Amino acid sequence: MAALVRPARFVVRPLLQVVQAWDLDARRWVRALRRSPVKVVFPSGEVVEQKRAPGKQPRKAPSEASAREQREKQPLEESASRAPSTWEESGLRYDKAYPGDRRLSSVMTIVKSRPFREKQGKILLEGRRLISDALKAGAVPKMFFFSRLEYLKQLPVDKLKGVSLIKVKFEDIKDWSDLVTPQGIMGIFAKPDHVKMTYPKTQLQHSLPLLLICDNLRDPGNLGTILRSAAGAGCSKVLLTKGCVDAWEPKVLRAGMGAHFRMPIINNLEWETVPNYLPPDTRVYVADNCGLYAQAEMSNKASDHGWVCDQRVMKFHKYEEEEDVETGASQDWLPHVEVQSYDSDWTEAPAAVVIGGETYGVSLESLQLAESTGGKRLLIPVVPGVDSLNSAMAASILLFEGKRQLRGRAEDLSRDRSYH
């Protein structure tokens, strides 16, 4: 029995020496030890189970190990990366503009020109807020240019599918931007159709039987401010006749501050078609405090205080009274439209207010429409010697006065019902 044990000791001791000595012949033994055998069988037949180091697990088959790792890692990955990787999980991809890429310049040339814009049916929106308002209202995006991916991730992911996304340098956006401080993102949209748009519920709930008709408004800043006032007052619709600046021009959009996506705006209308967009029994009122009839038809008190002017509508003087050469009879070409103060009641029926441009004033067609619908001229009194109010200021005064009158009428009606 002793003879059998001695060889076992002779075999084991060199192994320990090999591990400690690290000579060249022992490398293969060290390599074998690194393989971590499951069992050691001695020559005597004794079998020793090897204990695994803490943290080490037996190796599984490749398919079983990968499946278990995926199941274990999946909850952690989902909880840690679900929020920030939503944009990536949607499968969206973007292109990076290369040096000399002219896609941005070619698109900007189209959307900044009204003829090209109307022909292509595209508009330009700049800034995250304006783009978000457009997406919420149902506007259809076609292309986005952005300088940082964070700007794009702030937009609704479901609205970006199928849209061309192009990352460009901030300097390129700055070259084409109309803003003093560009926001780093521009969007090309299909020209919105008011029939297909979805306007905010709060705007629809506060909508009033009050319309706005823009006549010969050619200043982009004025038109944008007027649209913003119309949205704030609760106008149900805005009509723009031919001769007005394009409502979708970038400067108008910037001044409108999102008003384009809060109420229907119908652009480039002929005066013959304007009545088709008015509700039944609508009366048309003209904001014309410089009409030729104002001094004659307003009270003497108003005339004495200089609440009229005679500078802006002198273009109608040649039409006002013209003598027939053959018969010698005078012909009245200017429609007879009564003048009243703006703060008198004029909202007993659905009302449409016509705002004219500062340079040309209101058109003859607007006065004819006011006469045919039983409307009047609305006079805003000013101190003598002071020039007339600009179009944006006059529109704001009249629209919010109309809102005040309609609110007062609604309160009186509710009070009468409570008494009964």
CATH number of the domain bearing residue 223: 3.40.1280.10
In a domain, 63, yes or no: no
C-alpha distances (whole Å) from 107 to each of 110, 117, 159, 260, 394 are 5, 10, 21, 22, 37
Domain boundary among 190, 216, 239: 190
According to the model, what pLDDT value does residue 295 have?
A: 41
According to the model, what pLDDT value does residue 420 have?
A: 62
* CATH number of the domain within which 183 lies: 3.30.1330.30
Spatial separation of the C-alpha atoms in residues 139 and 253, rounded to whole Å: 14
Domain boundary among 124, 155, 190: 190
In a domain, 208, yes or no: yes
In a domain, 310, yes or no: no
Residues 6+ apart with CB under 8 A from 58: 52
Ramachandran bin of 107, using left for φ above 0, alpha for ψ from -120 to 50, beta for the remaining angles:
alpha
Q: Are residue 90 and residue 156 in the same domain, yes or no?
A: yes
Task: Please provide residue 12's backbone torsions phi and psi, each rounded to the nearest 5 degrees.
Answer: -75, -40
Q: Are residue 212 and residue 289 in the same domain, yes or no?
A: yes
Q: Are 298 and 379 in contact (CB under 8 A)?
A: yes
What's the domain range around 386? 201-295+336-416
Q: Are residue 104 and residue 252 in the same domain, yes or no?
A: no
According to the model, what pLDDT value does residue 93 have?
A: 86
Q: Which two tokens stand for residue 97?
A: 């503009």
Q: Are residue 133 and residue 276 in the same domain, yes or no?
A: no
| Helix, strand, coil in percent for the chain, rounding step 5 | 45, 15, 40
Single out the residue of 317, 112, 285 nearest to residue 209, CA to CA. 285
Structural domain tally of the chain? 2
Q: Are residue 159 and residue 236 in the same domain, yes or no?
A: no
In a domain, 136, yes or no: yes
Domain boundary among 156, 190, 224: 190
Q: Are residue 218 and residue 164 in the same domain, yes or no?
A: no
Tell me how crowded residue 160 is: count the other CB atoms within 10 A of its CB: 19
- What residues does 145 pair with on adjacent strands? 166, 186
Q: Are residue 287 and residue 387 in the same domain, yes or no?
A: yes
Q: Are residue 261 and residue 206 in the same domain, yes or no?
A: yes
| pLDDT tens digit at each of 420 positions of the chain | 444 445 545 444 544 444 444 454 555 555 555 556 667 777 776 777 666 555 555 554 445 545 555 554 444 343 333 433 455 566 788 899 887 788 888 888 877 888 888 888 999 999 999 999 999 999 999 999 999 999 988 898 888 988 999 999 998 888 888 888 889 999 999 999 999 999 999 999 999 999 999 999 999 999 999 999 999 999 999 999 999 999 999 999 999 999 999 999 999 999 999 999 999 999 999 997 554 444 444 444 333 333 334 444 444 444 444 444 454 444 556 788 999 999 999 999 999 999 998 777 889 999 999 999 999 999 998 888 887 788 999 999 999 999 999 998 888 777 777 766
Q: Are residue 117 and residue 175 in the same domain, yes or no?
A: yes
Q: Are residue 186 and residue 220 in the same domain, yes or no?
A: no
Residue matched to tokens 């070619």: 106
In a domain, 174, yes or no: yes
Residues 6+ apart with CB under 8 A from 336: 293, 371
Spatial separation of the C-alpha atoms in residues 271 and 325, rounded to whole Å: 31
Q: Are residue 280 and residue 350 in the same domain, yes or no?
A: yes
Q: Are residue 169 and residue 208 in the same domain, yes or no?
A: no
In a domain, 254, yes or no: yes
